[in-house]
Amino acid sequence: MLLGATHYGCPVDMWSVGCIFAELVRKQPLFPGDSEFQQLLHIFKLLGTPSEGTWQGVSRLKDWHEYPKWKPADLTRYFPDLEPAGLDLMRQLFEYDPAARISAKDCLSHPYFDGMDRRALDAMENPEVMF
């Protein structure tokens, strides 16, 4: 849980989905820290150091300290083969504020998946529909 946040919910899982998505695209770990602090620095260098403007309440979290101030990196540098819709999805999965992070349902209807055969998803949501 980032910076000692204690509320666990679906947005935490969506961050994890973002990590898995990024690692599948890059074929290597995105935040390869060997400690929690080192991983935080990797996250901040890529996504920018969070602030009250990007994550309301971040400065009141248990593990918040004054960190170096990085601006968000250009994701196209890290994911040069990812199409614009994929980059947009990545940004939404890595939204610092859990309340603003994309939900699982919204993720499935994101334009990145427009070319996907959705019959399998429909069958999962409605088991009596066979394809």
The answer for 27, left when phi > 0, alpha when psi is -120 to 50, beta otherwise, is left
**Position 42: which residue type?**
H
- % of residues, the chain, pLDDT over 70: 80
* Look-up of token digits 């990797």: 42
pLDDT higher at 55 or 63: 55
pLDDT class for 36, splitting at 50, 70, 90? Answer: confident
15, 104 contact by CB (below 8 A): no
Its pTM stands at 0.79
What domains can you pick out in the chain, each with its CATH number?
Answer: 2-125 (1.10.510.10)
Identify the pLDDT of residue 129: 54
The whole-angstrom separation of Cα 81 and Cα 71 is 22
